[in-house]
């Protein structure tokens, strides 16, 4: 149980940094929330929720799509620092 709790805490931390990272990448690539949403077959409001960390459980497929837009792996997307 302790290992599971630790894994959840790590994942929760990763999710707390992914929103601002998505926003930073989106701005770096000069994409609007609407454009990014269209590229991943989602909505602008969902992208806004992700960026503000209001959605703490994005689906893996969503993370894969976002990572692909920015030519990253999901692991790179979830890393704490940007290259």
Q: DSSP for 49-81, please give it.
A: HHHTT--S---HHHHHHHHHHTT--HHHHHSSS
**Residue 39 near residue 32 (C-beta atoms within 8 A):** no
The model carries a pTM of: 0.77
Q: Which residues fall within 8 angstroms of residue 51, CB to CB, at 6 or more apart?
A: 19, 20, 22, 23, 26, 33
Q: Which residues fall within 8 angstroms of residue 71, CB to CB, at 6 or more apart?
A: none
Task: For residue range 19-71, list pLDDT tens digits in order.
Answer: 999 999 999 999 999 999 999 999 999 999 999 988 767 888 999 999 999 99
């Amino acid at each position: 149980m302790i290992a599971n709790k630790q894994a959840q805490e790590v994942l929760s931390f990763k999710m707390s940094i992914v929103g601002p990272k998505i926003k930073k990448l989106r701005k770096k690539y000069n994409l609007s929330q609407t454009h990014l949403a269209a590229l991943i077959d989602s909505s602008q409001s969902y992208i806004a929720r992700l960026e503000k960390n209001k959605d703490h459980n994005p689906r893996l497929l969503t993370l894969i799509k976002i990572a692909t837009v920015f030519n990253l792996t999901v692991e790179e997307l979830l890393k704490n620092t940007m290259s």
